[in-house]
Amino acid sequence: MELTINLQTGSKTPLYEQIYDYIRQEIQSGRLKSGERLPSTRALSRHLEVSRSTVELAYEQLLSEGYVEAQPYRGFFVAEIEGLYQISRSSEREEKKKQSEAPKYRYDFSPSGVDLKSFPYNTWRKLSRECLTDDRTELFRLGDPQGEYGLRSAIANYLYQARGVNCRPEQLIVGAGNDYILMLLTTIIGSSHKIAVENPTYRQAFRLFERLSYKLCTVDMDRKGMSVDGLRASGADIAFVMPSHQYPLGTVMPMKRRMELLKWAEEREGRYIIEDDYDSEFRYKGKPIPALQGYDSKGNVIYTGTFSKSIAPAIRMSYIVLPEKILRIYREKCSFLSSTVSRVDQLILQRFIGEGYYERHLNKTRALYRSRHDTLLRCLRESGGQFEISGENAGVHLLLHFPPGRTEEDLIESAGKKGVRVYGLSGYYVGEKKEDGAGPVILLGYANMSETKIADAVHLLMEAWQ
Amino acid sequence: MELTINLQTGSKTPLYEQIYDYIRQEIQSGRLKSGERLPSTRALSRHLEVSRSTVELAYEQLLSEGYVEAQPYRGFFVAEIEGLYQISRSSEREEKKKQSEAPKYRYDFSPSGVDLKSFPYNTWRKLSRECLTDDRTELFRLGDPQGEYGLRSAIANYLYQARGVNCRPEQLIVGAGNDYILMLLTTIIGSSHKIAVENPTYRQAFRLFERLSYKLCTVDMDRKGMSVDGLRASGADIAFVMPSHQYPLGTVMPMKRRMELLKWAEEREGRYIIEDDYDSEFRYKGKPIPALQGYDSKGNVIYTGTFSKSIAPAIRMSYIVLPEKILRIYREKCSFLSSTVSRVDQLILQRFIGEGYYERHLNKTRALYRSRHDTLLRCLRESGGQFEISGENAGVHLLLHFPPGRTEEDLIESAGKKGVRVYGLSGYYVGEKKEDGAGPVILLGYANMSETKIADAVHLLMEAWQ
A122 in contact with B, Cβ within 8 Å = no
Strands A225-226 and B68-71, sheet pairing: unpaired
A202 in contact with B, Cβ within 8 Å = no
Nearest CA in chain A to B179: A337
Average pLDDT over residues B314-336: 94
Residues in chain A within 8 Å Cβ distance of B124: 132
CB-based contact B316 A340, cutoff 8 Å? yes
pLDDT in the model for residue B175 = 97
Average pLDDT over residues A358-387: 92
Average pLDDT over residues A279-288: 78
Q: In angstroms, rounded to a whole number, what is the distance separating the alpha carbons of residues B320 and B174?
A: 7
pLDDT in the model for residue A85 = 66
Which amino acid makes up residue B102?
A
What are the b/e assignments for A30-54, b being 16+ CB within 10 Å?
eebeeeeebbebebbbeebebeeeb
- Reply yes or no on whether the pLDDT at A94 is more than 60: no
pLDDT in the model for residue B85 = 66
DSSP H helices, B201-247, are: 203-211, 228-234
Question: Which regions of B245-401 does DSSP assign to beta strands (E)?
Answer: 272-276, 301-306, 318-321, 388-390, 397-401
User: Which of A361, A455, A445 minimizes the C-alpha distance to A396?
Assistant: A445
Q: How confident is the model at residue B114 (pLDDT cuts 50, 70, 90)?
A: confident
pLDDT in the model for residue A95 = 42
pLDDT in the model for residue B307 = 92
- Reply yes or no on whether the pLDDT at B97 is more than 60: no
Q: How confident is the model at residue A25 (pLDDT cuts 50, 70, 90)?
A: confident
* pLDDT per position as a tens digit, A236-257: 999 999 998 899 999 888 889 9
The torsion defined by the Cα of A200, A202, A207 and A212, in degrees rounded to 10, comes to -110
User: Which of A3, A78, A16 minimizes the C-alpha distance to A53?
Assistant: A16
Q: In angstroms, rounded to a whole number, what is the distance separating the alpha carbons of residues B9 and B20?
A: 15
Contact of A445 with A105, CB cutoff 8 Å: no
B85 in contact with A, Cβ within 8 Å = yes
User: Which of A69, A340, A455 minimizes the C-alpha distance to B176?
Assistant: A340
Contact of A64 with B364, CB cutoff 8 Å: yes
* pLDDT per position as a tens digit, B376-395: 999 999 998 999 999 988 88
Report the range of poorest mean pLDDT among B21-30, B88-97, B375-384, B452-461. Answer: B88-97
Four-residue CA torsion sign, B222, B228, B234, B238? positive
* pLDDT per position as a tens digit, B1-29: 667 788 888 788 888 888 988 888 888 88
Average pLDDT over residues B174-195: 96
CB-based contact A121 B128, cutoff 8 Å? no
Q: For the domain made up of B124-355, give the CATH fold.
A: Aspartate Aminotransferase; domain 2 (3.40.640)
- Reply yes or no on whether the pLDDT at A466 is more than 70: yes
Name the phi and psi angles at B23, rounded to 5: -65, -40
Nearest CA in chain A to B189: A211
Say which residue, A66 or A227, is predicted with more confidence: A227
Q: What is the mean pLDDT of chain A?
A: 89
Say which residue, A380 or A7, is predicted with more confidence: A380
Other beta carbons less than 10 A from residue B188's beta carbon = 22
Range of A140-144, A251-255, A288-292, A460-464 with top mean pLDDT: A460-464
Q: In angstroms, rounded to a whole number, what is the distance separating the alpha carbons of residues A447 and A372?
A: 7
Other beta carbons less than 10 A from residue A270's beta carbon = 11
Report the range of poorest mean pLDDT among A317-321, A377-381, A429-433. Answer: A429-433
Say which residue, B93 or A443, is predicted with more confidence: A443
Q: In angstroms, rounded to a whole number, what is the distance separating the alpha carbons of residues A320 and A274?
A: 10
A424 Cα distance to chain centroid: 25
Nearest CA in chain A to B362: A85
Residues in chain A within 8 Å Cβ distance of B214: none
Residues in chain A within 8 Å Cβ distance of B356: 87
Report the range of poorest mean pLDDT among A163-177, A186-200, A425-439. Answer: A425-439
Residues 429-458 (B) with a CB less than 8 A from some CB of A? none
Q: How confident is the model at residue B433 (pLDDT cuts 50, 70, 90)?
A: confident
Nearest CA in chain B to A169: B93
State in Å, rounded, how far the first CA of chain A is from the last one.
87
Q: For the domain made up of A359-465, give the CATH fold.
A: Aspartate Aminotransferase, domain 1 (3.90.1150)
3-state secondary structure chain A: CCCCCCCCCCCCCCHHHHHHHHHHHHHHHCCCCCCCECCCHHHHHHHHCCCHHHHHHHHHHHHHCCCEEEECCCEEEECCCCCCCCCCCCCCCCCCCCCCCCCCCCEECCCCCCCHHHCCHHHHHHHHHHHCCCCCHHHHCCCCCCCCHHHHHHHHHHHHHHHCCCCCHHHEEEECCHHHHHHHHHHHHCCCCEEEEEECCCHHHHHHHHHCCCEEEEEEEECCEECHHHHHHHCCCEEEECCCCCCCCCCCCCHHHHHHHHHHHHHCCCCEEEEECCCCCCECCCCCCCCHHHHCCCCCEEEEEECCCCCCHHHCCEEEECCHHHHHHHHHHHCCCCCCCCHHHHHHHHHHHHCCHHHHHHHHHHHHHHHHHHHHHHHHHHHCCCCEEECCCECCEEEEECCCCCCHHHHHHHHHHCCEECEEHHHHCCCCCCCCCCCCEEEEECCCCCHHHHHHHHHHHHHHHC
Residues 343-402 (A) with a CB less than 8 A from some CB of B? 343-345, 353-354, 356, 358-360, 362-364, 366-368, 370
pLDDT in the model for residue A433 = 73
Q: How confident is the model at residue B93 (pLDDT cuts 50, 70, 90)?
A: very low
- Reply yes or no on whether the pLDDT at A261 is more than 60: yes
Looking at chain A, the whole-number percentage of residues with pLDDT higher than 70 is: 94
* pLDDT per position as a tens digit, B54-64: 888 888 888 87
Nearest CA in chain B to A125: B132
Four-residue CA torsion sign, B37, B38, B42, B43? positive
Looking at chain A, the whole-number percentage of residues with pLDDT higher than 90 is: 57
Q: What is the mean pLDDT of chain B?
A: 89
Contact of A38 with A78, CB cutoff 8 Å: yes
- 3-state SS class at B84: coil
- Reply yes or no on whether the pLDDT at B112 is more than 60: yes
pLDDT in the model for residue A232 = 97
Q: In angstroms, rounded to a whole number, what is the distance separating the alpha carbons of residues A44 and A76?
A: 12
- Reply yes or no on whether the pLDDT at B183 is more than 60: yes
- 3-state SS class at B13: coil
Say which residue, A183 or A21, is predicted with more confidence: A183
Q: In angstroms, rounded to a whole number, what is the distance separating the alpha carbons of residues B314 and A298?
A: 36
Q: In angstroms, rounded to a whole number, what is the distance separating the alpha carbons of residues A429 and A425?
A: 7
- Reply yes or no on whether the pLDDT at A98 is more than 50: no
pLDDT in the model for residue B86 = 64
- The sheet with strand A397-401 has its strands ordered as A388-390, A397-401, A441-445, A423-424
Contact of B360 with A24, CB cutoff 8 Å: no
Looking at chain B, the whole-number percentage of residues with pLDDT higher than 70 is: 94
* pLDDT per position as a tens digit, B228-284: 999 999 999 999 999 988 999 998 888 899 999 999 999 999 999 999 998 778 888
Give the contacts of B139 (CB within 8 A, at least 6 positions apart).
A314, B131, B132, B343, B344, B347
User: Which of B313, B253, B308, B241 minimizes the C-alpha distance to B281?
Assistant: B308
Which amino acid makes up residue A277?
D
pLDDT in the model for residue B98 = 44
pLDDT in the model for residue B83 = 64
A412 in contact with B, Cβ within 8 Å = no
CB-based contact A137 B119, cutoff 8 Å? yes
What are the b/e assignments for A289-303, b being 16+ CB within 10 Å?
bbbbbbebeebbbbb
pLDDT in the model for residue A101 = 47
* pLDDT per position as a tens digit, B129-165: 998 886 777 888 888 999 999 999 999 999 998 888 9
Q: How confident is the model at residue A112 (pLDDT cuts 50, 70, 90)?
A: confident
Per-residue CA distances from A302 to A192, B112, B443 (Å): 17, 34, 42
pLDDT in the model for residue A88 = 64
A44 in contact with B, Cβ within 8 Å = no
Question: Which of A82, A143, A359 lies closest to B287 in CB terms?
Answer: A82
Looking at domain B15-95, its CATH class is mainly alpha
- Reply yes or no on whether the pLDDT at A136 is more than 50: yes
Contact of A184 with A335, CB cutoff 8 Å: no
Contact of A184 with A322, CB cutoff 8 Å: no
Average pLDDT over residues B419-438: 87
Judge whether A15-95 and A359-465 match in fold: no
Q: How confident is the model at residue A57 (pLDDT cuts 50, 70, 90)?
A: confident
Q: In angstroms, rounded to a whole number, what is the distance separating the alpha carbons of residues B142 and B122?
A: 28
Q: In angstroms, rounded to a whole number, what is the distance separating the alpha carbons of residues A44 and A243?
A: 75
- Reply yes or no on whether the pLDDT at A102 is more than 60: no
pLDDT in the model for residue A92 = 41
- Complex ipTM, two decimals? 0.82
User: Which of A398, A364, A425, A318 minimizes the C-alpha distance to A109?
Assistant: A398
Contact of B374 with B392, CB cutoff 8 Å: no
Per-residue CA distances from B221 to A131, B195, B241, B288, B378 (Å): 46, 15, 11, 21, 27
Per-residue CA distances from B201 to A339, B240, B290, B302 (Å): 22, 9, 21, 18
Q: In angstroms, rounded to a whole number, what is the distance separating the alpha carbons of residues B136 and A132?
A: 19
pLDDT in the model for residue A83 = 64
Interface probe for B, chosen from A23, A95, A278 (most Cβ of B below 10 Å), is A95
- The sheet with strand B272-276 has its strands ordered as B172-175, B318-321, B301-306, B272-276, B238-241, B194-199, B215-222, B225-226
Contact of A398 with A392, CB cutoff 8 Å: yes
* Boundaries of every domain in chain A: 15-95, 124-355, 359-465
Which amino acid makes up residue A347?
L
Which amino acid makes up residue A279?
D
B131 in contact with A, Cβ within 8 Å = no
Q: How confident is the model at residue A45 (pLDDT cuts 50, 70, 90)?
A: confident
* pLDDT per position as a tens digit, B291-322: 999 999 999 999 999 998 888 888 899 999 99
Give the contacts of B412 (CB within 8 A, at least 6 positions apart).
B422, B423, B424, B442
B32 in contact with A, Cβ within 8 Å = no
DSSP code per residue over B404-415:
TTS-HHHHHHHH
CB-based contact B66 A363, cutoff 8 Å? yes
* pLDDT per position as a tens digit, A167-195: 999 999 999 999 999 999 999 999 999 99
- Reply yes or no on whether the pLDDT at A214 is more than 90: yes
- Reply yes or no on whether the pLDDT at A89 is more than 60: no
Q: In angstroms, rounded to a whole number, what is the distance separating the alpha carbons of residues A117 and A293?
A: 32
pLDDT in the model for residue A383 = 92
CB-based contact B95 A353, cutoff 8 Å? no
Residues in chain A within 8 Å Cβ distance of B339: 177, 316
